[in-house]
Structure 1
């Protein structure tokens, strides 16, 4: 039986840590500008800092919630010895053999797919659609499995690069 993984607090913290970096950057920007130019323009600097924070935070929060609700009650397991994957949704566990995987379509941001430095907080978010010979599909977001890698033939794997990897409804 494969070890099953669901959405963990650790995965959510790892996905969201970039927001804390942007928050700190916004606060440092505000502190630097007030120190350099004084309190006379604090309203301008506060507004600029808030706008910069929101420009990065709102899309990040939206994609995080989208991924969370896509795989909220799901769990995923992978057994490389038996060459099986199992997927649980709403209490129903289905096990598939890796040989029955028709295709694995991965959606990643350009920097993440090319293993470059990430520029936006949502760059590490990615999702995969596993399609089986029976026609069934499962959606695996990065909150469930941070980076899905199955031991299947490379010809069955497709990588799609996107600026913003919004996952489809389940």
Structure 2
């Protein structure tokens, strides 16, 4: 799949998907968040082919989501650390986790999240940064943004959006 083709679509979802919306990439990111950061750890945990793992790690580094750091010189071995851009994908992974737990988990969730501040189990949810209310299809609308325009991949979207947000 040519993920670079999504870079030309004038849409943040498309551009993000071109970088991160590959199942292996998402699983590697999950493992990096869980603290597995060495090539062999990732390979063993995921059961992934070495060429696929090497390709996805190279892309994560090239796309600025992870950095390589040598932890051994002879032979040279690297660990991978998430960059701030990579860490910003955590809510995406949590949202996928919550969806998978609700719709694809047999016998209960395979992983529980505990909130470090209170120690309680946590279920990821999206909330408004202003009022804290839940963000759902029923409670949100889309409006034009400063970088919005009709372009390939978004040719019909502008016609579906309101012309203004109203009072700011």
Relative CO higher for 1 or 2, CA cutoff 8 Å, sep ≥ 6? 1
TM over 0.5: no
TM-score (norm: length of structure 2)? 0.23
TM-score (norm: length of structure 1)? 0.23
